[in-house]
Amino acid sequence: MNSRERVWRAIHHQQADRVPIDVGGTRQSGIAAAAYHRLKQHLGLATPTRVFDLYQMLAEIERPVIERLGGDVIGLYRPDVAFGIRNENWRPWTLFDGTPVEVPASFRPQQEPDGSLIILRDGLPVARMPQDGFYFDRLEIYPGAAHIDLEGYQPPLLTTEQCAHLRVQSQCLHESTELAIVAPLGPPYELFYGLGTGDFERWMITLACEPDYVHRLYECLVTAWIENLKRFADAVEDRVPIVQFCDDFGTQQSLFLSVDMFRQLVMPHYQRGLEWIHEHTNMQVLLHSDGAIFPLIPSLIEMGVDILNPVQTSAVGMDPRQLKTHFGDRLTFWGGSLDCQKTLPHGTVDEVVAEVTRHVQTFAPGGGYVFASVHNVQAGVPPENVIAMYDTARNFTLPATEPEPGCA
């Protein structure tokens, strides 16, 4: 099978020739630029390392690395992935740890007296990276926390230029590769977690105390989201099988909000957008949500989620066997590789292989599984462990299946 066929079978709960793998196909399954540079040195590749996601300092994963690690997925992005900075006219730059990289020419952070870096937009700080840090923290206050006046408020819509870019890039990726395309296109803001950026505590108080305002805000955002979905679907046609959105509903210990509050305040609005996707396109919906979200999964499935990422198996209640048993026939798991906070950065190669093997043995049989790191591979991860993680999944032998009807 080629990659596109392999992923298609997995997300339709059919077993493929091997486990499909995501190597940097999303901004939540990528590799930090510092770790990626060392990985390329280990593999004998001397090409420049480009930072395509300035927010998380993620590397642009090159085709030879995708092929070496068995990747089956590629991402479709806007030209300005983070902070409105276009990925073009690359220039040399150096990370705090000394890693040489290339960054977009218009990325010009200012250094503060304490050594931290600040990104300004229209003279105002929008992001900050502390000295010796690995990624930026957003400083902008988003509408939920800002408690904006909704009269006349218009969330951002895809421009004609952005749609033209998505059309051309999706055509290029579809015609020049056999990889499955994943496109991130959430609402203008994450409908729960992202609305609190800048003051999450204030947003949570608003969520709990002002349901009328929350519903009006969501109504406004989802109306814009559906318009963006229409423009996006027109641009990419049938070339993109998976559309992704991101929202974090859980900590590593529990949910951020009760299931009842989610179903009353958040779910109806998400459901409106996801129903549009399922009624008007053939795309499947991928949700990225970290944390201990097991109690929320039935509601996520009901509201239209087809695929769950990153499947943080180290969080409370996220046992692979329970996930597969309870939801494996209705949900595709995308991730779930191993503990990427402990085993991947600090374990031995043998420990990485053992944990990946256990998880793949649980998730992969019968389809409904795409292998990926549990969130991005961080800066300090040894290249040997990165290679061991992907190679273990790539070389895993799936159990034999019965031939399909009509097959010789």
At a CB cut-off of 8 Å and minimum separation 6, what does 62 contact?
Answer: 45, 47
The 117-121 sheet, strands edge to edge: 110-111, 117-121, 124-129, 137-138
State residue 188's pLDDT score: 76
Q: What angle do CA 110, 114, 119 make, to 5 degrees?
A: 25
Residue 175 confidence class, pLDDT cut points 50, 70, 90: very high
Residues 39 and 29: their CA atoms lie apart, in Å, by: 16
Is residue 400 predicted with pLDDT exceeding 80?
A: no
E strand residue ranges, 144-230: 180-184
What percentage of the chain reaches a pLDDT higher than 90?
A: 91
Is residue 408 predicted with pLDDT exceeding 90?
A: no
State residue 401's pLDDT score: 67
Residues 56 and 120: their CA atoms lie apart, in Å, by: 17
Mean pLDDT of 86-102: 97
Q: What is the dihedral of CA 268, 272, 274, 279, to 10 degrees?
A: 140
Is residue 55 predicted with pLDDT exceeding 80?
A: yes
pLDDT digits (tens, 9 = 90+) for 201-246: 999 999 999 999 999 999 999 999 999 999 999 999 999 999 999 9
The CATH fold assigned to 3-30+66-75+140-394 is: TIM Barrel (3.20.20)
pTM of the model: 0.95
Cβ neighbours of 356 (radius 10 Å):
23
Q: Identify the CA nearest to 22 among candidates 337, 292, 289.
A: 337
Question: What is the b/e burial string over 240-253, where b = at least 16 CB atoms within 10 angstroms of the residue's CB?
Answer: bbbbbbbbebbeee
State residue 402's pLDDT score: 54
Q: Give CA separation, 227 vs 116, 273, 302, in Å.
A: 39, 10, 23
HSE value, Cβ hemisphere, 13 Å, CA-based, for 348: 3
Is residue 285 predicted with pLDDT exceeding 80?
A: yes
pLDDT digits (tens, 9 = 90+) for 353-390: 999 999 999 999 999 999 999 999 999 999 999 999 99
pLDDT digits (tens, 9 = 90+) for 248-278: 999 999 999 999 999 999 999 999 999 999 9
Q: For the chain, which residues make up each domain, given as ranges?
A: 3-30+66-75+140-394
Q: What angle do CA 298, 300, 301 make, to 5 degrees?
A: 65
